[in-house]
Every structure is written in structure tokens, then in C-alpha cells.
Amino acid sequence: MSKDQIYRRHEAAAGSFEFNADVAEVFPDMLRRSVPGYDISIGAIGALAVRYVQAGTQCYDLGCSLGAAALAMRRNITASNCRVIAVDIAPAMTERCRALLSRDNSEIQCDVVEADVRDVPIENSSMVVMNYTLQFLPVGERLAMIRRIYEGMNDGGVFVLSEKVADDDPAVECLLVDLHHDFKKTNAYSDLEISRKRTALENVLIPETTQTHLDRLTDAGFRHCGVWLKHFNFASIVAIR
């Protein structure tokens, strides 16, 4: 696993964050050191696959990056005749995702699609995962995306939405941001790296409050939804159709 040192380099501070070849190469290390609770959320996705994936249906990992959620579903599906579809718009991510999936010996079919998640049909699905993906879509397009997911799911299906979130209370929000920065420092990111990455993500990753996400899911039609995992300002929401 290559170590993330992207924002130690001066040239990395010049532009906005992109899921390019440099990021793809270090992405597992970047997640481990930047997103508290990430490994736990992936394991939990596998547990949901056991419970909710229905025979003869499709499962989607939307914004799959290197396919961690797709693998978690694939390795834990017990229902018959299922397929996992992993979607990402970044060529560097889909290329590495295909390579990783090809080395997995699960019998569940898994297809990697290079496309914008907004353009991929969601059909006959019993499980959909958006792991830190919705936050990169324009805010005005997020409800339409959630509605498309809902409409493509079967009754009883589960949707997992993981996002970096903002708190309604400014004081709590400041505390959560500080705690997240402390988490990164503990994982050997410097103040300069943290500052540069935060600048690169500005206007690229737009977080919303947890309640905004819950209200949107309810508006789209999901019968039950709630936070099932949270660490600092990173939350994972489960919604049942």
C-alpha cells in the first residue's frame, strides 16, 4: 500500500482535488488516515448484504473508487443469482478497481462501469451503496439522484449513504473539525498537508447536515432511515425502501 504524500508536494496545492492516477495509487492509505471509522463501515456493509440482498437482484456501489464496498457486498451475499455493479467516473479508479476485483475469488458476478453515477440506470436492486459520493454532486442534483435510487430499488431493499456531514450547531461543528484534524495528525499528516487538502476540497466536496440527508431520503420515499454509524463528522445512514 503506497503512502499518501500528495499534499507534501507544492504542485499538489495548485488545483482542486481530483480522483486522478496519483490519488488512485495511494487511495487505501488516504482513506485509512483521513476517514475515521472507514474500515468499520465497510465491514458493516457486508453484514447488511447478508440480511438484505434478495435473490435475482442487482447491487450497486455508486462512486466505487477501488471497490471496497463492492467487495464487501460480493463476499457476503448469500442469495442466489445476484450481480454487483460498481460505478465510478474516474478512469484511474475503475482501472484499479477491475484489477482488484479480478483477484477476488467470489462467485458473485461483479461488473465495473466507468460512468457518471447520475447516468447509470438503477434497476431491480435490493442494495445500493453511496460511500462518500453524494457529497461531490452539486447540491441541487442530490434529491434527483436519491429519487432515482429509490425508484430502482425493490421493496425491502437497503440503501447505505455515507457522507462527511456538517453540524447545525457552529460550536459543535468547530469541535468536530478540530477532532478530525487531530485524527489526521495522529496518522502522521502535517498541518501543511491538512491545510492544502482542505483548500483543494473547497467547493468540490460540499457537506450537509445529517438532518438534511434524512429529510431528503424521506422525501424520496424511503420508509425507514437513520444514522447507524458515526465518527466525528463522518456519518453513515441506512434507509429501507
| pLDDT tens track for 121-172 | 999 999 999 999 999 999 999 999 999 999 999 999 999 999 999 999 999 9
The DSSP element (H or E) to which 61 belongs, if any, is strand 58-62
Length of the chain (residues): 241
pLDDT attached to residue 135 = 97
Q: Report whether pLDDT(9) > 90.
A: no
Residue-wise pLDDT tens digits, 87-112: 999 999 999 999 999 999 999 999 99
Q: Report whether pLDDT(13) > 60.
A: no
Contact predicate 45/75, CB 8 Å? no
* Cβ neighbours of residue 160 closer than 8 Å, sequence gap 6 or more: 45, 48, 69, 127, 128, 129, 130, 131, 236, 237, 238, 239
Contact predicate 125/159, CB 8 Å? no
Burial class (CB in 10 A: 0-12, 13-18, 19+), 72: buried
Residue 65 dihedral angles phi and psi, to the nearest 5°: 50, -115
Q: Report whether pLDDT(185) > 60.
A: yes
Residue 44 dihedral angles phi and psi, to the nearest 5°: -70, -35
Q: How far apart are CA 215 and CA 213, in angstroms?
A: 5
- The CATH class of the 38-166+204-240 domain is alpha beta
**Predicted TM-score (pTM) of this structure:** 0.94
Q: How far is CA 197 from the centre of its chain?
A: 18
Contact predicate 213/230, CB 8 Å? no
